[in-house]
Structure 1
Amino acid sequence: MSDERSIRVEFTKYDGSLHWHHTARLLGEDVHGVWAGCPAGASMRRGQEPPVVFPQAFVMLFPRDGWWTASFNAAPHKTEVYCDIATVPSWPAPDTVTMVDLDLDVIRKRNGRIYLDDEDEFDEHRVRYAYPPQVVSAARASAERLLKAVRVNAEPFATVSRDWLARVD
């Protein structure tokens, strides 16, 4: 994949309702998965809410078999890495990637702070949406693995995203 066509990125909630969604440019693929990017000024929407404009460029990584996605933001954005714990990304069409957002987020701020966010939302939604036990365990295990990987600066959380980010603007 390197034809840089537009793709649709669609996160849903476990009940199937539309969550964050936007258009991105497909950049290519490597050992970590499929990469897509958005230039500075791109927007995304949560459900039917008004669009949110991102002042800096960012790239997203969709792993082939991981229960997560990752966004890497260009400086000076305060968040350097933002990982959504989600079901394994699927491609129902060549121009659409979709996954179920499972609430937990692994975040690395540009100042180096790394943390797991939205544990309360995960606990609330696992009851509301009746997450099956295997989904709960996969989400928690994925969050744990990602926290460790981000903390030790393992790829793709070290430098590989910079080359992809350079292709966006």
Structure 2
Amino acid sequence: MRDVRVVYRKYDEKLHWHQWMRLLGEDQYGVWLGAPANSVSQRGSEPEVTHSQAHVQLFPRDKWFTAIFNDEPRQTEIYCDITTPVEFGEDVFTMIDLDLDVVKRRDGTIYIDDEDEFADHQVKYGYPADVIESARTTCDWLATAVATEEPFLTAYKTHLDKIR
């Protein structure tokens, strides 16, 4: 297994979240990366954040989101970022974070986060109409899919087992 650099940027190309993760494989849902407990990530040039639990991340091909699946006991079970489709380099995966997030708590609660930021950035960065439409359509789909469809139900659990 090799390590891959994950780089999220904002629409103005400013560095957002980034970290190194282990390549776990690819299936019909996309490419899976994992990070063991005590791995680190960083937002821009802010101090690193240490993650006490393992997590895996799904990078679908040609879709407008990425998904993080957190190990127990973390309260957030699934965290989906609405993004531009991932650009898959040999050692770096990059995408543009489009602000909207779909979050599923471990108790089953699902909510959409950062709609205010999405609205502000549409104006600030001049998101094109097709980007706004793709982001909103994906967000609306995910708000239901995280509770009803794979890979959000059980498929991710085998990848979590690999990285623990």
Q: TM-score, normalised by structure 1?
A: 0.96
Structure 2 contact 147–153 (Cα < 8 Å) conserved: no
- 1:7: which partner in 2? 4
Q: Deviations over 1:39-61 (max 9, x none)?
A: 00011000000001111000000
Which 4+ stretches in 1 moved above 3 angstroms? none
Give the share of equivalent positions with the same residue, in percent: 51
Point out where structure 1 has 5 or more consecutive residues left out of the alignment: none
State the number of aligned residues: 164
1:151 positional shift: 2.8
Match for 2:129: what amino acid?
A: P
Alignment of 1:21 onto 2:18: yes
Unaligned runs of 5+ in 2: none
Report whether the alignment pairs 1:157 with 2:152.
yes
User: Which secondary structure does the structure 1 equivalent of 2:163 belong to?
Assistant: coil
Report the equivalent of 1:168. Answer: 163
In the aligned structure 2, how far is the partner of 1:128 from the partner of 1:46?
20
Find 1:104's aligned residue among 87, 100, 103.
100
Normalised TM-score (structure 2): 0.99
- The one-letter code of the counterpart of 1:137 is E
Please state whether the residue corresponding to 1:81 is helix, strand or coil: strand
CA RMSD of aligned residues (A): 0.6
Of 115, 131, 136, the residue aligned with 1:135 is 131
Question: 1:24 & 1:150 partners in 2: Cα distance?
Answer: 23
Q: 2:133 is paired with a residue of what secondary structure?
A: helix
Q: Counterpart of 1:55? A: 52
The separation in 1 between residues aligned to 2:108 and 2:140, in whole angstroms, is 18
Secondary structure at the counterpart of residue 56 of structure 1: coil
Partners in 2 of 1:41 and 1:97 — Cα distance? 21
Distance 1:148 1:111 in 2: 15
**2:37 alignment counterpart:** 40
Displacement of 1:150 in angstroms is: 1.2
* Superimposed CA distance per residue, residues 143-166 of structure 1 (whole angstroms, 9 cap, x where no aligned partner): 0111111132x1010000000000
Query: Does 2:116 correspond to 1:123?
Result: no
Q: Aligned partner of 1:125: which letter?
A: H
Paired with 1:156 and 1:48, the residues of 2 have a C-alpha distance of 32
Q: State the distance in 1 between where 2:144 and 2:87 align.
A: 25
Partner of 2:86: 89
One-letter amino acid matched to 1:159: T
SS of match in other structure, 1:104 = strand
Q: What are the superposed Cα offsets for residues 13-35 of structure 1, whole Å, 9 maximum, x if unpaired?
A: 00001000000000000000000
The 1-side partners of 2:92 and 2:14 are apart by 16
Inter-partner Cα distance in structure 2 for 1:158 and 1:65? 21
